[in-house]
Structure 1
Amino acid sequence: MNMQYYNAVVEMEKAGVDPEFLQGWQGGYLLNPMREEQRLTEAYEAGYAAGQEKDMEAYKEWIAA
């Protein structure tokens, strides 16, 4: 099991990150194909880009108030 991935997801969930960002981050981290165009959101795309970069800090901008 990839503990870096697991710990990052748990941290984001506990912080209350936007679910769209989290789904994007997971997809980007795992190098899954991006969603189809009509289902893309700003949060998803930001998460996807952060996941591809293995950025563990970008989620802090997407925590729900």
Structure 2
Amino acid sequence: MSYRINEDECIACGACEPVCPVECISEVEGGKRRIDEAVCIDCGACAGVCPVDCIAPVE
């Protein structure tokens, strides 16, 4: 399993990127972030710091 950012709800704050231990979060158009699901280790650190709760586990 991995996590995914809902880019429609992302406010481009960047809080998630520095807490990722495997650096699988990158900036995309408009400053929003995207998670490389192939690299994500499912730790949930990013979801814990997201101020708008737009990061959730992929089911």
Q: Does the pair score TM above 0.5?
A: no
> Where is the strand percentage greater, Structure 1 or Structure 2?
2
The two structures have a TM-score, normalised by structure 2, of 0.29
The two structures have a TM-score, normalised by structure 1, of 0.28
Higher RCO, Cα 8 Å, sep 6+: 2
Larger of the two Rg values belongs to structure: 1
> Where is the helix percentage greater, Structure 1 or Structure 2?
1
